[in-house]
Amino acid sequence: MHKTLRNHFEEVIDLTDQEFAFALTKFEIKDFGKGDFIFQRDDIVEHAYFISSGLLKLSYFDDNAKEHIVSFAMENWWESDFNAFFTQSETTYYLKCLEATSVYYISLEGYRELSEELPKMKTFWLQKSNTGFVGSQRRILSLLTTSPKERYEQFLKEYPSLTQRVSKTQIAAYLGVSRETLSRLYS
């Protein structure tokens, strides 16, 4: 039971059965259907989510109601609006299920308690946070330096599996190009 989460932790730190069982007490589980929102603009973001199966998008709608996708998140990824989560405040994003999705979620309090009571977890969170930070910097650079075409090719290379699961419209909103331009890239 709970293999996905345990394996995920154990990619970074070793845990005894007791330790993992303890960690688990800080999490709850929930299933969402395709199209469900985990949170929406103006919600207080109380949790961070570990996706054990399924696919989410974290997106933002600008003043012209145009959608921009901040990130996709699939199995073994963490997702939330981490800014709103850490400050327990309202988000400006939407977190929506692109497929039926199962998550483990934890509150900020749980996150803090877990970090204090099982200090190894700090190592784990630190690792994840660093990876996330480095990944965002890569994306910034990619937005600054590359053309839509190059970005699309990078995307295909980096997330080949997503290509099957996500519509081109969504990919365009992630890459920062219009749907039409994306369509014309490979013709």
Partner DNA sequence: CTGTTTTTGTGACCTAGATCACTAGTGTTG
Partner DNA sequence: CAACACTAGTGATCTAGGTCACAAAAACAG
- Determine, following the binding rule CB under 7 A, whether residue 112 of this chain makes contact with DNA: no
Q: How far apart are CA 96 and CA 85, in angstroms?
A: 16
Selection from DNA, a second copy, none that 154 binds (CB < 5 to 8 A by kind) is none
- Paired tokens of 39: 């949170």
Question: Where in 6-45 is the site for DNA (CB under 7 A)?
Answer: 34-35
Q: Tell me if 134 contacts a second copy by CB under 8 A.
A: yes
Instruction: Indicate whether 68 belongs to the interface with DNA (CB under 7 A).
Output: no
Binding characters for DNA, 118-157, by CB under 7 A (x = yes): -----------------------------xxx--------
45 versus 98: smaller Cβ distance to DNA: 98
16: Cβ–Cβ under 8 A, 6 or more apart, which residues?
none
Which CB, 14 or 160, lies closer to DNA? 160
Cα separation, 53 vs 76, whole angstroms: 8
Q: Does 180 bind DNA (CB under 7 A)?
A: yes
At which residue do the structure tokens 């784990």 appear? 124
Q: Which does 181 bind (CB under 5 to 8 A by kind): DNA, a second copy, none?
A: DNA
Q: Output the CA torsion sign for 169, 175, 181, 183.
A: negative
3-class secondary-structure state, position 40: coil
Give CA–CA dist 99/4, Å, rounded: 18
Residues at the contact surface with DNA, assessed by CB under 7 A: 34-35, 64, 66, 147-149, 167-170, 176-181, 183-184, 187
